[in-house]
Amino acid sequence: MLRRLTLFAMVCSSLWEVSAAQGQTLDATLSGCAQCHGPTGISQLSETPHLDRQLAGAIEEAMLAYSEARRQTAVPLHKQVPRELVSGVAAFYSGQKSGVRPAQNVDALKVTQGEAVYNRHCYKCHDDAGRESDNEAPLLAGQNLNYLLKQVMAYKDGSRKQPAMMERASRGVSEEDWIATAHFFAAQDAVGPAIGKKKRRRSGQ
Ligand code: HEC
Ligand code: HEC
């Protein structure tokens, strides 16, 4: 009996050590990410995306795409996150919902132009001006303007591949219109009402 108990205690303590080590690794990983994405996923660097509030699935998909080289990145750390930590990282950022993102300088004319493009091409997946999602589309409301500009240009010139569904929906969108959508999404409050009058999933009118 005593031996059994000892064994039980040993198993318990080694399990505890494993989970403590994993906890440290997740913390260590997140502190690396915080250098650019901020401690709660709100980035002060305009070319770096905010990760707070983002759908966990969208973060996981981005990390997998980086590690499998389906999506290019200049940040080596993106490819070095151990796979078993990816869901923990995604859950952490997705759960950060109390922070306030810095205000941005958007071009009001482009916001209006972007709204019209959004209402024609984008609203079916990036619902409610980018605050909601269908078809696993990432949330885009209030995302950093310079990050969005880089992504839409990369989609337009093909250096970032669009998901097939989005490619079909965005056929014929000009460079100027892509740029306008970046201003439109950046102008949105991540939580508040949409800019322009909201009409079901579309925005404005
Ligand atoms: C040196 C700065 C830097 C560090 C460190 C960094 N990132 Fe990034 N991250 C960026 C930049 C810049 C982008 C956008 C461009 C790109 O993909 O390279 C980005 C993009 C992302 C995206 C894509 C977001 C989207 O909306 O598609 C995710 C997810 C992400 N980072 C997660 C992480 C995680 C998790 C870590 C820590 C393991 C991390 N990043 C560390 C700068 C950084
Ligand atoms: C049919 C659904 C669908 C439609 C319509 C759609 N998207 Fe997307 N969008 C997605 C999905 C899914 C992703 C995630 C792509 C990935 O993981 O590479 C995405 C990603 C994006 C991103 C990158 C987000 C990030 O965090 O890096 C931007 C920017 C974007 N979409 C803008 C648009 C714009 C602008 C339109 C309209 C012209 C549009 N989308 C229409 C589904 C859609």
CA–CA separation, 141 and 101 (whole Å): 11
pLDDT at 194: 78
CA of 126 to the centre of ligand 2 (A): 7
Ligand 1 pocket check for 139: Cβ under 6 Å: no
Hey, what domains does the chain have and what are their CATH numbers? 2-37+54-94 (no CATH), 108-203 (1.10.760.10)
pLDDT tens profile 15-55: 545 555 555 699 999 999 999 999 999 999 999 999 999 99
- pTM as predicted: 0.90
Which ligand neighbours the alpha carbon of 38 most closely?
A: 1
Residue written as token pair 């980086």: 66
Token pair for 50: 């905010």
CA–CA separation, 91 and 36 (whole Å): 18
pLDDT at 202: 63
Mutate to test the pocket of ligand 1, among 25, 37, 47 (most ligand atoms within 8 A of CB): 37
The residues lining ligand 2, judged by C-beta closer than 6 Å to any ligand atom, are 49, 61, 117, 121-122, 124-126, 135-138, 140, 148, 151-152, 163, 165-166, 169-170, 173, 181
**CB pairs under 8 A, 24+ apart, for 149-156?**
149/179, 149/182, 150/47, 151/182, 152/178, 152/179, 152/181, 152/182, 153/178, 153/179
pLDDT at 191: 87
CA–CA separation, 203 and 46 (whole Å): 25
pLDDT at 204: 54
pLDDT higher than threshold 80 for residue 84 = yes
CA of 185 to the centre of ligand 2 (A): 11
Token pair for 96: 């950060």
Residue written as token pair 């132009």: 113
Mean pLDDT of the chain: 89
pLDDT at 192: 79
pLDDT higher than threshold 50 for residue 198 = no
pLDDT band at 4 (very low <50, low <70, confident <90, very high): low
